[in-house]
Every structure is written in C-alpha cells, then in structure tokens.
C-alpha cells in the first residue's frame, strides 16, 4: 500500500464530476444536483417531513428547507400542513415531478455504471462496503468533536 494514499483527492474528484454531470443533465428541468436527492426521497416517501428528509440524507434542516423551496417553486413538490401537528409540513411529489424523477433515475444508473465500469460484481460490493465504512467513520469522527475544524 502506498504510504501517502490520496483518497481525499479521488473522493473529491468523483464528487465534483458527479455534481457537474447531474447539473448538466438536470438543467432542462430547472433543478440542480442539490435538489435531485430530495426529490427522489420525497417520491419514495410521500408525506415525509422536512426533519425526516434532512435526517435521511444527513443534511441540516436549512439545506433540506432550501431544496424543498426550490422544488416547490418549480412545481415539483407540494407541502401540506400536518393534521396532528400544524407546525409539521408534509411533502409530496407532484405529477410535474414524474418526468424529472424518471430522468434522475436514468442518469443515476448511467453514472453508477460508469463509476464501476469494468468491476466484477464482487468488486462493486466491496467498493460500496468500503465507502459505507468510510462514511460511517467520518460521521463518527465529527460527532465525537475531533473532526470539528474550529
């Protein structure tokens, strides 16, 4: 193993290129790569709250709220007041969102396929398992306070 393995550089490259790819492909729909995750989650979980949506992707409430506002402006989601707790807004995908959701699923499958091009099924599973562990380690490090940049 290399002594100075540049894992952060590779992760950063994949992240930046992923963002650019999704931005380009979703531009005709008026949303960026930041909103596509939220739209898919809302479609998969009709009536999800802002808090649940934020927690499902490890985002803060502000990020989730801004994404929902953008999607609502585009007509891709509608929000309803909660029946039991009026402070809770329930979010639903609209009919207008269906083509965007379909396109997002399509381009996600293409991108995922390109990232793992030439991998065996076992290598794909190993890559996912390793990335999941890295993500868990990063979250734990930050939660412990050791990863706080201040």
Nearest CA to 104 out of 20, 36, 28, 42 is that of: 36
Each residue of 37-96: pLDDT tens digit?
A: 899 999 999 999 888 888 887 777 888 888 999 999 999 999 988 677 667 789 999 999
Residue 35 forms part of a structural domain: yes
pTM here?
0.79
User: Which domain, by its residues, includes 23?
Assistant: 7-143
Q: For position 85, which CATH number holds?
A: 1.10.10.10
Residue 1 forms part of a structural domain: no
Residue 43 forms part of a structural domain: yes
Three-class SS state of 72: helix
Residue 150 forms part of a structural domain: no
Q: State the total domains in the chain.
A: 1
Residue 103 forms part of a structural domain: yes
The least confident of 89-93, 113-117, 121-125, 140-144 is: 140-144
**Residue 143 to residue 148: CA distance in whole angstroms:** 8
Angle at the Cα of 38 from the Cα atoms of 36 and 43, rounded to 5 degrees: 95
Residue 149 forms part of a structural domain: no
Residue 148 forms part of a structural domain: no
**Residue 94 to residue 77: CA distance in whole angstroms:** 5
């Amino acid at each position: 193993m290399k002594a100075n393995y540049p894992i952060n550089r590779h992760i950063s490259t994949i992240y930046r290129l992923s963002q650019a790819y999704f931005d380009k492909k979703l531009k005709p729909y008026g949303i960026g790569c930041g909103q596509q995750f939220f739209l898919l989650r809302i479609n998969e979980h009709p009536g999800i709250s802002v808090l649940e949506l934020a927690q499902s992707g490890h985002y803060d409430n502000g990020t989730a709220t801004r994404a929902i506002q953008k999607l609502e402006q585009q007509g891709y989601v509608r929000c309803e007041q909660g029946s039991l707790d009026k402070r809770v807004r329930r979010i639903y995908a609209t009919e207008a969102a269906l083509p965007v959701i379909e396109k997002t699923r399509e381009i996600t499958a293409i991108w995922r396929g390109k990232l793992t091009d030439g991998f065996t099924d076992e290598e794909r599973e190993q890559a996912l398992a390793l990335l999941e562990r890295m993500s868990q380690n990063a979250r734990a490090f930050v939660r412990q306070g050791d990863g706080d940049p201040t």
